[in-house]
Structures are given as structure tokens and as C-alpha cells.
Amino acid sequence: MRFIVFGRSCWVLFLATGLAGFQAWAAVQESASTPKTTSSRKAGAAKSASTSAAAAKAAPAKAKSAKATTRKAAAARSTSGAAAKKAPAAKTTSGSANAATAAAKKPASAKTTTSAKKTTTARKRPATRRPVRRSSRQTWTASPYADSTAGDQAVGEDPAVRAAAVEALGPLNGSVVVVNPNDGRILSMVNQKLALDNGYTPCSTVKLPVAVAALREGIITKDTRVPLGRRWSMNLTEALAHSNNPYFARIGAQVGFPRLSKYARDFGFGELAGYGIAGEHLGTFPDTPPRLGGVGLLSSFGREIQATPLQLAAFVSAVANGGTLYYLQYPRSQAEIEAFQPRIKRELEIGDILPQLREGMMAAVVRGTARRLDDPYDTVAGKTGTCSQGGTRLGWFASYEAPDNPRTVVVVLLRGGRSVMGPLAAQVAGRVYRYLHERGYYEQRALSNSIKLNPAAAVLSQ
């Protein structure tokens, strides 16, 4: 009888434990395989939990009745209690699985919503307004091309020099003035209207009179290195060769406006360069330093100075011949040519410092801003200038050939747009020099001069 009661107790415990485990497993499988709403999942979990609880309560009740009968029933109750503890654990596992499944789905949607909100917020952020890029291109008012010989009266000019200047200038908009530095005679003037006009900003050619003033006042020599930065300095030769603006702004400030003004007027700026030349304008030199840039810009760019090609040609002639400033004369007939006599305006006391200036002018042609000149026949000394005035680009070049025996001064002024610059003007001057050499002009002129000095030689040469 005891064995029968014990067997029934074991069978009841087995059924209760198995039923609870099966129900928990079934609930998990159903929750994972079939998607439900949140309310249905909670109802299924509650139902599984109540069933498991009922089974767990029935097992200890039957185990207590078996304990009253036999000791082994007590042991069975102990086993039954352990099984009953497993049943709630299974219930907990089932509930946890359901809750985990629901929780895993809920945060996903919430996270997506939050991300969407962030995306929406980023899209609504006001865009930064982009700065408007303004074009830095300047509108030029003058064409770089023109018939520069229109309106010229070439009577009285040297025909060989006139031909050289016209061919060298070609279709460019500009003027070419060729002068004999030893007597001041104008040999040719292409585009006479432009050459005799009110004047133009001299650009960097103003550095020549500024350098002469600084040398004459003892402020520098050609070897003096002027500091232009913490680790940068330059001497006069290199500054002229590369047309360094800070260098000349600094030495111009050291010379000072009163002395610069005096030297400039002694060199012929601000007054007529010619003697009795019809239609010539005198240009201007300011009475006070420029309001914008002061002496620095006047010394490096020629601000507020109006210079004519004739004034620059007269000054460079004085540099070439050792310091004699001639009145420029422009014979207009054969009679005037035969009666021509040089006229000296003044003697400049600059002869001792001119070799230092010439070195920088020659360096400009060899390795500096005028290296496009390309004259293989003789040495040329010169200075370029590039700047703008009233919507017009200006290109200057003031030069003379054969520093040891100067024979010709060539001054070129070009007008136009972006393509116009000092190096291009130097190239035009180089064509003039090359043309004269290739046609034997200097040999013919030397012969002509010897005939004038010795008429008997003319008879013998015939």
C-alpha cells in the first residue's frame, strides 16, 4: 500500500513539473513566431503565469498528504518542493522572454523616431549664406592696338630712324621718341599727339630720378643694403633691375619730399622739355606729397606726377651724356636741320654718381624687368615702368644704347589693357636698336658727321 501511495505521488509531481515547463516553452515559441500587439502579448503572459502558479500550488498539497503516511513521502515532498521552485523559475523565464521581446521592439521604434527627429532638425537648420564673389577684373578704356602714325608730320625727321620706330611699334597703341643724347635733337617722334600730350603717370621710371637724388645726397651707394624685412635687404643695383617698390618707397622717404621736388624740377619734370616745339605740354609735378600713399607712392609709382615722353627722354639723355640737360629740338625742315645748334638748359652735378646708376639700368636689361629687349649688337641701359591711370594700362621704357659711347636714347610709351606693360615697351625699344644696327645706321651717321666736320673728306670720299 505504501508503494502505491508513493508511486502516485511521484506521478503527480512529474506531471505538474512537465506541464509547467511545456507551457513556458510553448509561450516562448508562440511569442517569437507570431507577432502580436502589446496587449495580446501581455494577456498571453498573464495566462501562462496563472496556469503555472496553479500547477505549482497543486503539487505541494498532494505532497503533504503523502507525508502523513510515510517517511519517504516526506522525502517526496522535499523533491516536490524543489520541483515547485523550478516551476516559478520557468514562469519567470517565460515572462522575461515575453517582456524582452516586447521591449526589443518598442525601443527600436522609439530610436527610429528620435533619429528621424534629429534628421528633420538638421534639415531645418538655416543654411549659411555664401559670400558673393565679386570679379576683380578691371574694365580697360583704351585699346592696346591703334594706328599710331595717323596725323604725324614726319618732315625733318631722320628717315632711317623713323622707319625703325614705325616698324618696331607696329600695330601697338603708343609712342616712340628717339633722341640724340649728345645734342638734344629729336630724330623721330612716332605718334606726335601722344608724345606732346599733357603727360601720364611715369610709373616705375620715376625710380631713376629718385635714385639719383638718394645717391647725390649720400643716403645710399650702389652697395648699400636697405632692410626691407626681418631677413631681407636689397642694394640699388638689384632694386633697379627688379623694380622693387618697397626699396624706393623707403629711400624716397629718407630723401624727403622737399629735396625730391627740387631734384625732379632740376631734371626737367614739371616744365617744357623742348625748345619751341609746337603743341608741347609741360606735365605736372605736385607741390605737396600725395594725400594717398605720401612720398612712398610718389617715389615708387610716380603718383600725382604727369610726365611726357619728351621730359623722360631729356632726363635720360642727361644720364647718358654725363649730366648735360639739353633742350630738345625738333627741326621741321631741311633749313632748320642745317641751322641746328644744341641748346643747354642746365648742367646737372651728377657725373660722379652716374656709373652707380648705370649698373642697375644695365642689370634691368640683362636679368631684370627689361630682359625681353634682346639687342645682340650693343649694351643697353634702361628702366621699365608699369601702372594704370584712369582705366588705361601704361607701359614705359626709358633707355639709351652704348653707355661708354652713347649714341641713341629711345623712350617708349604704350597704352591699352591688361597686356600692356613695361617689358613689352622694352621689347619695342629693342626692335628699334636692332633695326638701326642691321641697316648700318651708326656707321652711316658717323661718316656723315665726319663729312660735316671736314668738307675735304667729302670730296675725297667721292
- Site of grid cell 507577432: 35
338 shares a domain with 450 = yes
* Domain contains 109: no
pLDDT digits (tens, 9 = 90+) for 410-462: 999 999 999 999 999 999 999 999 999 999 999 988 877 766 555 444 333 33
What's 276-330 look like in SS3? CCCCCCCCECCCCCCCCCHHHHHHHHCCCCEECHHHHHHHHHHHHHCCEEECEEC
More confident residue, 98 or 233: 233
Domain tally for the chain? 2
**What is 103-149 written as a DSSP string?**
HHHHHHHHHHHHHHHHHHHHHHSPPPPPPPPPP-PPPP-S-SB--TT
Q: How many Å apart are CA 432 and CA 187, to the nearest integer?
A: 12
* Domain contains 424: yes
User: What's the pLDDT score for residue 95?
Assistant: 44
Given a cut of 70, is residue 324 above it in pLDDT? Answer: yes
Q: How many Å apart are CA 400 and CA 381, to the nearest integer?
A: 6
248 shares a domain with 390 = yes
* Domain contains 143: no
Q: How many Å apart are CA 29 and CA 21, to the nearest integer?
A: 12
334 shares a domain with 255 = yes
Given a cut of 70, is residue 221 above it in pLDDT? Answer: yes
Q: How many Å apart are CA 14 and CA 62, to the nearest integer?
A: 12
257 shares a domain with 386 = yes
* Domain contains 127: no
Name, in order, each residue with C-beta under 8 angstroms of 391's C-beta and a sequence gap of 6 or more: 138, 139, 140, 141, 142
**What is 149-200 written as a DSSP string?**
TTT---TTS-HHHHHHHHHHHTTBSEEEEEE-TTT-BEEEEESHHHHTSS-B
**Contact present, 428 and 375 (Cβ < 8 Å):** no
Question: Which of 384, 370, 386, 371 has the alpha carbon at shortest distance from 421?
Answer: 386
Is the model's pTM score more than 0.75? no
199 shares a domain with 97 = no
455 shares a domain with 344 = yes
Q: Report the b/e string of 399-436 with b at 16+ CB within 10 A.
A: bbbbbeebbbbbbbbbbbbeebbbbbbbbbbbbbbbbb
More confident residue, 62 or 419: 419
User: For the ranges 124-128, 206-210, 396-400, which has the lowest average pLDDT?
Assistant: 124-128
Q: Residue range 282-293: average pLDDT? A: 94
* Domain contains 96: yes
Question: In the predicted model, what is the mean pLDDT of the chain?
Answer: 80
SS3 347: strand
Q: How many Å apart are CA 162 and CA 170, to the nearest integer?
A: 12
**Contact present, 176 and 428 (Cβ < 8 Å):** yes
201 shares a domain with 65 = no
Q: How many Å apart are CA 320 and CA 330, to the nearest integer?
A: 19
171 shares a domain with 92 = no
Q: Residue 23: pLDDT band by 50, 70, 90 thresholds? A: low
Q: Residue 139: pLDDT band by 50, 70, 90 thresholds? A: confident
70 shares a domain with 166 = no
* Domain contains 117: no
Of 70, 103, 136, which one is at a domain's C-terminal end?
103
* Domain contains 151: no
Question: Which of 199, 398, 188 has the alpha carbon at shortest distance from 286?
Answer: 199
Q: Residue 247: pLDDT band by 50, 70, 90 thresholds? A: very high
- Site of grid cell 515575453: 98
Given a cut of 50, is residue 381 above it in pLDDT? Answer: yes
Q: What are phi and psi of 40, to 5 degrees?
A: -70, -40
Q: Residue range 110-134: average pLDDT? A: 49
* Domain contains 141: no
User: What's the pLDDT score for residue 32?
Assistant: 47
Q: What is the CATH number of the domain that holds 241?
A: 3.40.710.10
State which residues form the domain around 90.
Answer: 2-103
229 shares a domain with 83 = no
383 shares a domain with 239 = yes
Of 34, 68, 103, which one is at a domain's C-terminal end?
103
**Contact present, 385 and 395 (Cβ < 8 Å):** yes
164 shares a domain with 90 = no
- Site of grid cell 641701359: 381
User: For the ranges 8-12, 87-91, 374-378, which has the lowest average pLDDT?
Assistant: 87-91
**Contact present, 417 and 423 (Cβ < 8 Å):** no
Q: How many Å apart are CA 436 and CA 187, to the nearest integer?
A: 12
